[in-house]
Amino acid sequence: MIQLHDKQFVPFISAKEINFAIAKMVAQIEDDFFDETPVFIGVLNGAFMVVSDFMKLYKKPCEVSFIKMSSYEGTASTENIKQLIGLNQDLTGRSVIVIEDIIDTGNTLEELIALFKQQNVKHFRVATLFFKPEAFKKDIKIDYVGIRIPNKFIVGYGLDYNGLGRNLPEVYQLKE
């Protein structure tokens, strides 16, 4: 068990399971984009770790860039999504694959889709390591999902509770 600020967390998903899920997404995307050089767009802060491990497994030509979005306050998602660092690259005609750490309500995803609608990309796809189907409120297709999880607050592997826990190599869930 670990303590972050005022809350306690218990082990939930091992580093091995995470790596397996990422490898599965890599295999699917390599296959779907075998004749392209996709641009992976990581959504900061949470996705830095999944993007890093994803890139190390992806063996074909590819590029990477990041944008920074923020919606969470404490352990709850808000509808007020802020774009803190924007896109600084021309993505016209490119195959863009957004890499998210987790999709919860889908508010951030909706904001991302609106943002990329303005770019004249060739393909737009979404990949997320974790997905909470019970919390998801949007009618949007998510192209690549690593691991589906119940509607519980998790930390580790890039995900934080008020800034802490991102450095944990495995995932913990809030102790009931």
Q: Report the 10 Å Cβ neighbour count for 26.
A: 20
User: Which one of residues 36, 63, 77, 143 is an interface residue with ligand IMP (CB under 6 A)?
Assistant: 77
Helices and strands in the chain: count of H runs, count of E runs? 3, 10
User: Which one of residues 9, 18, 38, 46 is an interface residue with ligand IMP (CB under 6 A)?
Assistant: 46
- Name which of residues 95 to 114 contact ligand IMP (CB under 6 A): 100-109
Per the CB < 8 A criterion, the answer to whether 102 and 130 are in contact is: yes
In whole angstroms, the minimum distance from the beta carbon of 162 to ligand IMP comes to 10
Stretch that binds ligand IMP, among 17-25, 29-37, 57-65, 149-157 (CB under 6 A): 149-157
Residue 132 corresponds to which tokens in the numbers above?
């909470």
106 forms part of the interface with Mg ion (CB under 5 A): no
Could you tell me which residues come within 8 angstroms of residue 104 by beta carbon, excluding any fewer than 6 positions away? Answer: 77, 132, 135, 136
Task: Strands of 14-153 (E only): list them.
Answer: 39-44, 63-73, 76-85, 95-103, 123-131, 144-148
Asked about 143 being catalytic, the answer comes back as no
46 forms part of the interface with Mg ion (CB under 5 A): yes
State the residues that interact with ligand IMP by CB under 6 A. 43, 46, 71-72, 77, 100-109, 153-155, 159
Task: Report the catalytic residues.
Answer: 104
State the residues that interact with Mg ion by CB under 5 A. 43, 46, 101
